[in-house]
Structure formats: structure tokens, C-alpha cells
Amino acid sequence: MTALLSIQGLELAYGKIAAVKGIDLEVGEGQVVCLIGANGSGKTTTLRGISGLLKPRGGRVVFAGTDITGMAPHRIARLGLVQVPEGRQIFATMTVAENLRMGGYLVEDGERQRRLDEVLELFPRLAERKTQTAGLLSGGEQQMLAMGRAMIAGPRIVLLDEPSMGLSPIMVEQIFAIIELLKRQGKTILLVEQNAQLALDIADHAYVLETGRIRLSGPAAEVAGDAAVLHAYLGG
């Protein structure tokens, strides 16, 4: 079986500063794969390189059999690759419902409404605040909105960037319960997290990134057992 998303020798840079220095990574259909590492190790940059927001300097990104290296982000989105960006990036001046409909920008009306109802059922908090301006939501609600917005697109793969960032422990638990649910529904997820313990608990496979290079990879349980990881990334 070939992977749904396959990255070979990906190199990314901001101007002259190399941020990702040739990494290989694979995500199989229905898998939850996590990419963990310290602040500034290149996790978010990697996602930006995959979704087209940052043009790769070298290497290849292949998604569902299509070479998407250097493709414009809106064309990559059309193939079913959807990113939930770091810091939620919700449209603060729009209502909750408008944000969700924007997520389904490429989906035709009837199907979009059906998925919207599904998402509102999954996130009752959003249903209650449907007509509210999204900028007034709490951080956790904004994260739910960002995830719901991605799901309405009907993605073949979701790239989740730091879903736990800045949230209270209770909120983090709720967000990860939703990721767990998506996993059980068979959704393919590439999860970037600073909270390595949480990410390793939920993932099938894990990659550990250190200053732009893959330091360690393998089944999540094995990576979690590695003392070096525990020491370097879990603070154990």
C-alpha cells in the first residue's frame, strides 16, 4: 500500500534561514501520525510546506498520487488536503456559521448544509453560538470552530497544527476527545503538537523533529518508550 501523503527530502527556508533540512515522512490512509518536537524545531514550517503556504526549496510532496510540490494552496485544498492552522486563524469579524460555511467553500450547497449540521451536532457549543461573532469566542471554542471549519471541507487528510496551544487543561482534554473521535471515524490526521505525551497517546505513528531534521520515528508506542524522547521532549 502506498501512503496517502508522502514527503521525501523536504527542505524549507525563510529567506536564507533553513528551517527544515530534508525530512522524509509518510501518512497512510486512516492513520493518525504525529510530528513532535521542541519550539522552533520546524513542525509548523513542515505543515506550511505541505499545504502550499511556503514553497519548498527542495524535495517532493506527493498527496494521493499527485505531486503537489510548489502547488498553490487553493489547488492543494481542492485535492482534499486541509490544514487547521496554528493559532486557529478563525475569521474574527464573521459569525460562527459564516466561518463554518467558509470551510465548505468548495462544497456544493446541499452537501455543505448537511455537513454543517453534522459539525454543529458534534460541537454543541458552536451550535449555541451560531450567530455570534467568532472573535468573541473563547480560545477553546475557537479551536473547535477551526476544526469544524476544516471538517466541512470533507478532507481526505487533516493537518492539525498545535490544537492544544494556549488552552486550559479541561479544554485540551475536550479537543483531544474530538481528535480521538475523528480517529475512530477513520479520518487521516497529521498532528503537530508540542505536548508530546498527548500526541503520542493518540497517534499510530510518530516522528520527532529536532532543529529541522527527523531525529527519531516509529510506532507511537515505541517512540514513547524511548528514554531520550522522554528526557528531551517530555521533560521526564
Closest CA to 87 of 160, 38, 158, 179: 160
Min separation Cβ 187 and another protein, Å: 17
Taking the complex as a whole, the smallest distance from the CB of residue 147 to another protein amounts, in Å, to: 13
Identity of the residue, 18 or 106, whose beta carbon is nearer to another protein in the bound complex: 106
**Residue carrying the nine cell digits 477513520:** 186
Q: Which residue lies nearer to another protein by CB, 106 or 127?
A: 106
Of 132 and 211, CB closest to another protein: 132
Nearer to another protein, 111 or 173 (CB): 111
Instruction: Give me the least distance between CB of 62 and another protein, in Å please.
Output: 19
- Least Å distance, CB 11 to another protein, is 21
Residues that bind another protein (CB under 8 A): 51-53, 72-74, 77-78, 82-83, 85, 89, 91-94, 98, 101-103, 105-106, 133, 135, 149, 153
Min dist CB 21 to another protein, Å, is 24
Q: Is the Cβ of residue 154 or residue 218 nearer to another protein in the bound state?
A: 154
